Amino acid sequence: MEYITHLAILFLIYAILGLGLNLVVGYTGLLASGHAAFYGIGAYCSAILITNFGVNFFVALAIAVVVTGAAALLIGIVLSRFSGDYYVLVSLGFNVIAYSVLVNWQSVTRGPLGIAGIGRPSVFGVGFSSNAAFAVVALLVFLICYFASAFISNSSLGRVLKAIREDDTAIQVFGYDTFYYKLAVFTVSAGMAAAAGALFASYITFIDPSSFTVMESVFILAIIIFGGLANLKGSVLGALILVLLPELLRFAGFPLSVAAQMRQAVYGLCLVLLMLYRPQGLRGEYKL
């Protein structure tokens, strides 16, 4: 049961990451490839507040969302100067810079040693130390992010974002300043990533820079591409499949000498086949 609860918590964390990124990539058409950077900023911000200052988890989570949103606002202003392939490269470069800061700013982040002893949530003396109780907290945060994403996608803002995705220039003709819309959705997406980072830090009780590399950004991007771009349920489905698939492949009966390599090969093959025959993802409404 503990194993299932562990997988459920990881699924909820990655589903939150997928929801936020899908608003940027699927709905707005901006191929951001550095989402793990905001995930890491949120995780480290909450971890530092909890361990160094004794801040309550929920307060630390809120502060992490605000701090990460402010960082995203600044990064978004820079990214607004680029488009297409350059947007991808610059956002990827930001992830590399963020990772380097986490590794080298040792007086704050403890560098490769990471931060240990991160506390679990508690409210009025009631702790959520067990994994089952923590899963309830993760589910609550996930539901908030899901309904916030649904509200955005179904609102006039969501319709403008889709119009930007289809033809950025045409929507400007009708008087919409696309810069502010892109900046707004980019900031909201980063805030959701920060919430996921705070959950991850508190759940694992330890973080280090290796959890927030470029490969993690690629994995989060794979979640929304696999599940479906511009579809919130697709983001959730993609997170579910890509969290469970490696675990299911453990029971595939591969020889022990090549089990790890075979699991990776099957995992990669599934992604390649999907890109060839269903490029918009399982439930997608848009393809890159």
Identify whether 142 is part of a domain. yes
- Alpha helix segments (H runs only) across the chain: 2-22, 35-53, 57-79, 84-104, 106-109, 131-154, 156-166, 168-173, 178-204, 214-227, 232-248, 259-277
| pLDDT value at residue 40 | 98
Residue 123 gets the label, from left (phi > 0), alpha (psi -120 to 50) or beta, of beta
Number of domain units in the chain:
1
User: What would the two tokens of residue 166 be?
Assistant: 């289809």
Residue 145: phi and psi, rounded to 5, are -65, -40
Identify whether 117 is part of a domain. yes
Identify whether 12 is part of a domain. yes
| pLDDT value at residue 54 | 94
Write the pLDDT tens digit of every residue in 79-94: 988 888 899 999 999 9
| pLDDT value at residue 260 | 67
| pLDDT value at residue 21 | 97
Identify whether 240 is part of a domain. no
- Nearest alpha carbon to residue 218 among 12, 33, 87: 33
Secondary structure of residue 61 in the 3-state scheme:
helix
Helix 35-53 and helix 84-104: axis angle, to 10°?
30
- DSSP for 162-177 reads HHHHH-HHHHHHTT--
Rounded CA-CA distance 145/211 in Å is: 22
**Residue 137: CB partners within 8 Å, gap ≥ 6?**
121, 128, 199
**Residue 218: CB partners within 8 Å, gap ≥ 6?**
33
Residue 125: phi and psi, rounded to 5, are 85, -10
Contact 38, 165 (CB under 8 A): no
| pLDDT value at residue 176 | 87
Identify whether 252 is part of a domain. no
* Confidence (pTM): 0.95
| pLDDT value at residue 283 | 86
Give the CA count within 13 Å in the CB-facing half-sphere of 281: 30
Whole domain around residue 43: which residue ranges?
A: 2-211
Give the CA count within 13 Å in the CB-facing half-sphere of 231: 21
Rounded CA-CA distance 139/196 in Å is: 11
User: What would the two tokens of residue 44 be?
Assistant: 């480290």
Per-residue pLDDT of the chain in tens (288 residues, 90 and over written 9): 899 999 999 999 999 999 999 999 999 999 999 999 999 999 999 999 999 999 999 999 999 999 999 999 999 999 988 888 899 999 999 999 999 999 999 999 999 999 999 999 988 777 888 999 999 999 999 999 999 999 999 999 999 999 999 988 888 888 888 999 999 999 999 999 999 999 999 999 999 999 999 999 989 998 998 899 999 999 999 999 989 887 877 777 767 666 667 767 776 787 788 778 887 788 887 776
**Residue 288: CB partners within 8 Å, gap ≥ 6?**
25, 31, 225, 229, 279
